[in-house]
Amino acid sequence: MLNIDLILHNPFKIMGYDSEDIIPENGFGAVLARAGVGKTAFLVQLALRALLKNKNVLHISLNDPVNKVSLWYKEVFNNLAKQYSIKPSSQIWEAMLPHRFIMTFKAEGFSVPKLEERMTDLSEQNIFSPQVVIIDGFPFDESVRESLSDLKAIARKLSLHVWFAVRTHRHEEPASDGMPVSFSNVSDLFDVAIQLQPEGKEIHVLSLKGGRSTTGFPELRLDPSTMLIKNTSSSPLQ
């Protein structure tokens, strides 16, 4: 099981995120990046780390159908299994699946009350009760604060760890607090904010909130060939 332990090793500790869960119970975490940089792959790796610890992960997508989200998980897991020579990877994969539930919405049809209703239905029928929630495609527009406050109430009630993908824009100037403008007005609701920043052929992983400032030489990056998190001085997730 040594190779599994390597995957479960907290790669964010060097950035000051000492907790294995990175965000606290009832907490919000954000992964910020432009379109196509790697937000979904990053979040899937966070989800896989939770799944390997037998935690229940609810992945909510407002953009992609179930089969596409499932493919993301399979591809990222296969890359991890190849990197660490994990065998029998198929048995580990099958053991994780009961702990994952993918829920999709059309963006225009999404609302927090509708999400809460579907989550309640799953729980009351003993189908699925999440511990970690991934929300990909949530619109961070002018009205987002009210929705986030409602989601915060759900997180407190169900003791959830909630991660969001937050889309930024190429020419967006940072606000006075250093956050992207589209995120700055709600950043107080978040415990952790991590930015994926392309630099040439590399993607740097930067701490914006909750960890140590990553000014200067970034310690974590995404490998562009596999989209796995890697330490700049070692292999992915070590």
Residue 232 has pLDDT above 80, yes or no: no
d(C-alpha 187, C-alpha 164), whole Å: 12
Q: What is the mean pLDDT of the chain?
A: 87
How far apart CA 89 and CA 97 sit, in angstroms, is: 13
DSSP string spanning 23-85? S-TT-EEEEEE-TTSSHHHHHHHHHHHHHHTT--EEEEESSS-HHHHHHHHHHHHHHHHHHHT
> What's the CA gap between 175 and 80, in Å, rounded?
36
Q: Is the pLDDT reported for residue 2 higher than 50?
A: no
Q: At the topology level of CATH, where does 2-231 sit? A: Rossmann fold (3.40.50)
- Rg for the chain (alpha carbons), in Å? 17
Q: Model pTM?
A: 0.90
pLDDT in tens, 4-38: 665 656 667 667 676 777 899 999 999 999 999 99
The pLDDT score that the predictor gives to residue 30 is 97
Q: How many CB atoms lie within 10 A of CB 80?
A: 25
C-beta atoms surrounding 238 within 10 Å:
14
Cβ-contact 172, 34 below 8 angstroms: no
Across-strand partners of 174? 180
- What SS3 state is found at 90? helix
Cβ atoms within 10 Å of 142's Cβ, excluding its own: 8
Parse the chain into domains and list their residue ranges. 2-231
